[in-house]
A and B are shown apart, each in its own frame.
Chain A
Amino acid sequence: MEDGRSSKPTSCCELDIRSLLYVSLNDNLVCPICCSAFVDPCYTKCGHTFCSVCLYRALAQAQKCPVDRGPLSDDDICPPPKILSNMVNELLVYCPNADKGCKSTIQRCLLRHHLQDKCRYTLLACPSDECTELIERRFVDQDPANCFHRPIMCPDCRDSVAEFELDDHKHTCTSRSTKCPDCSKEFSMADIRDHLDSCSESVVTCPASRLGCRWSGRREKLDSHTTECVLISLAPFLEKQEERIANLEVENKSLRAQIAVGGSSSMLDNDVFHIFTEHDRFRSELERLSEQLGELEIRQSVMLTNQTVRTKEEIQNMRNAVNAIRHQMHFLMMERRTWALQNLATSAVVPPGANAVVSASSASAGSGASGGSSNGREEVANVRFMRRDSEPYRQDVKL
């Protein structure tokens, strides 16, 4: 039964293991997901470390490493090196009861032990059998049988206060009277503060003591001092100066931060820097290549025109040559035909088929010999016709 009760406070501090305040914390021991020191760390095959709970929650959402986004499954996770577990377990933390007054700093792995057995501010079940409240250990240690929740009457204000609260109550009870240390008069706790600020007997220092005035004396003498104190008359001016200096300091700090950011951004990340230089290199390469390409294009077009001109010239030459040959051939055929006609006239015996052909051609040849160029064109047409029959693909050459 005792165990069941005392487990209540310790279990609530176990829940808060991520909200512990560390005395000092190395950034390398911080989980990138929960941003607090590793709790039960684990290690991925890609070399990153997380709290187990954080990593498994992230993997349930997406099966990739949160840091490098590479694929990651449950099988790729292994326990961390022992040294890492030891390092995070030995981190010094402040006791979670620091706000109640516990000043201890403890290794994290020993915290549970501290809270369960040592910390004077841990809440325990009230030792009294009738009481179900919790009470800090320091009271239980004082009197292990007493119930500190028993109401007690405050001797000054006559309110009922739980016993364990009495100490705190004494500081705040408004009805309690106390003596002014300077003028020895009695005042209630509510009034003493105001009185201390105005008691004419109390010893005060000059308002300009901050600026170096060493005067101190009873409050009633203060007025006469302020009229003659040089530093008080200088105070407004000095304060203005101080304000300006503070402003300049703030400005200076922000400017310095900007410079630092500007300076560090150039080497912000080695990889980024590398990528930038690589980018620049590629850009200059690209420029060089496009320049070369332009040059090549120009050269090629010049070459092409040169070649076409030459080819055109050659074609012209060939055409001229063909024409000359045609003329010569024409001339030769005419010669031959007239010669054949003369032969025909002299020899009487001619086969009938040949005769017909020759007579047909002789008719034209005869008129050609006498008529001139009009018959010559007919001849050319004949020649052309023959050529076409034999070599149709050469047609273009003649045009």
Chain B
Amino acid sequence: MPGYTKRLGRELGDLKTNPAVGISVFQADDFRIWLIDIQVMDNNPLYAGKTFRLQFRFTPTYPIEAPEVQFIASLGREIPMHPHIYSNGHICLDVLGSGWSPIQTVGSVSMSIQSMLAGNDRNERPPDDARYIASAPISPKQTRFVYHDDNV
């Protein structure tokens, strides 16, 4: 059994026994793709009452390399409005790219994204949304995001 599945097994056990508030595992049938549902717990009017679905895609290099993380839309699950989230679900967040550290977990990344949503009050997409999604790679990890704005 490769090392990364061992670690993911532990993470899954942790997520199921001590779930963080607003974060739940929707689907984790294998060690390739997990779907995590997140809710923003404070009363942010932009996201109140909504649930969003994150997709984690793992490779055998996990956790040394970051997983691919993006929002996916499905029935009752939309892509949240945020100045750093493109309408195809790609997320511009440094901890998913250059800021990744192997001690991060699915739970901690979900929590980062949850707090990124909670701190937002702008009901808008990134300024270059249309241009980006027209030419975006399938995997968000192939995009070299420029983390230019730390305010949001």
Q: Which residues of A contact B (CB under 8 A)?
A: 16, 18-19, 32-36, 54, 57-58, 60-62, 64, 66-67, 69, 257-258, 261
Q: Other CB < 8 Å A-B pairs besides A19-B6, A67-B103, 11 of them?
A: A16-B1, A32-B103, A33-B7, A33-B63, A33-B103, A34-B63, A35-B10, A57-B64, A64-B101, A66-B103, A261-B21
Q: Is the interface of B mostly helix, strand, loop or mixed?
A: loop
Q: Mark B109-130, 1 if CB is under 8 A from A, else 0.
A: 0000000000000000000000
Shortest distance from the beta carbon of B102 to any chain A beta carbon, whole Å: 5
Q: Supply 8 A–B pairs (Cβ within 8 Å), ascending by A.
A: A32-B103, A33-B7, A33-B102, A35-B6, A36-B6, A66-B101, A261-B20, A261-B21
Q: A19 — which chain B residues lie within 8 A by C-beta?
A: 1, 6
| CB <8 Å contact, A18 and B103 | no
| CB <8 Å contact, B102 and A58 | yes
| CB <8 Å contact, A36 and B21 | no
| CB <8 Å contact, B102 and A66 | yes
| CB <8 Å contact, B11 and A67 | no
| CB <8 Å contact, B21 and A61 | no
A344 CA to B63 CA in the complex, in Å?
118
| CB <8 Å contact, B21 and A258 | yes
| CB <8 Å contact, B7 and A34 | yes
A18 CA to B4 CA in the complex, in Å?
11
Q: Mark B44-72, 1 if CB is under 8 A from A, else 0.
A: 00000000000000000001110000000
A66 CA to B7 CA in the complex, in Å?
16
A278 CA to B41 CA in the complex, in Å?
24
Q: B10 — which chain A residues lie within 8 A by C-beta?
A: 35-36
| CB <8 Å contact, A67 and B6 | no
| CB <8 Å contact, A18 and B65 | no
A258 CA to B20 CA in the complex, in Å?
9
User: Which single residue of chain B is at the shortest CB-CB distance from A51?
Assistant: B3
For window 11-54 of B, CB contacts with A under 8 Å fall at 11, 20-21
Looking at A60, A61, A261, the one whose CB has the most chain B CB atoms below 10 A away is A61
Known: A19-B1, A258-B21. A34 touches B101 (CB 8 A): no
Q: B99 — which chain A residues lie within 8 A by C-beta?
A: 69
A36 CA to B8 CA in the complex, in Å?
11
| CB <8 Å contact, A35 and B21 | no
Q: A36 — which chain B residues lie within 8 A by C-beta?
A: 6-7, 10
| CB <8 Å contact, B64 and A58 | yes
A64 CA to B99 CA in the complex, in Å?
10
| CB <8 Å contact, A18 and B101 | no
A34 CA to B100 CA in the complex, in Å?
15
A62 CA to B61 CA in the complex, in Å?
13
Shortest distance from the beta carbon of A387 to any chain B beta carbon, whole Å: 64
Shortest distance from the beta carbon of A209 to any chain B beta carbon, whole Å: 34
User: Which single residue of chain B is at the shortest CB-CB distance from A258?
Assistant: B21
A57 CA to B105 CA in the complex, in Å?
17
Shortest distance from the beta carbon of A44 to any chain B beta carbon, whole Å: 12
Q: B3 — which chain A residues lie within 8 A by C-beta?
A: 18, 34
Shortest distance from the beta carbon of B111 to any chain A beta carbon, whole Å: 11
| CB <8 Å contact, A61 and B64 | yes
A36 CA to B102 CA in the complex, in Å?
14
A60 CA to B93 CA in the complex, in Å?
22
User: Which single residue of chain B is at the shortest CB-CB distance from A60?
Assistant: B64
Shortest distance from the beta carbon of A14 to any chain B beta carbon, whole Å: 13
User: Which single residue of chain B is at the shortest CB-CB distance from A257?
Assistant: B21
User: Which single residue of chain B is at the shortest CB-CB distance from A30?
Assistant: B10
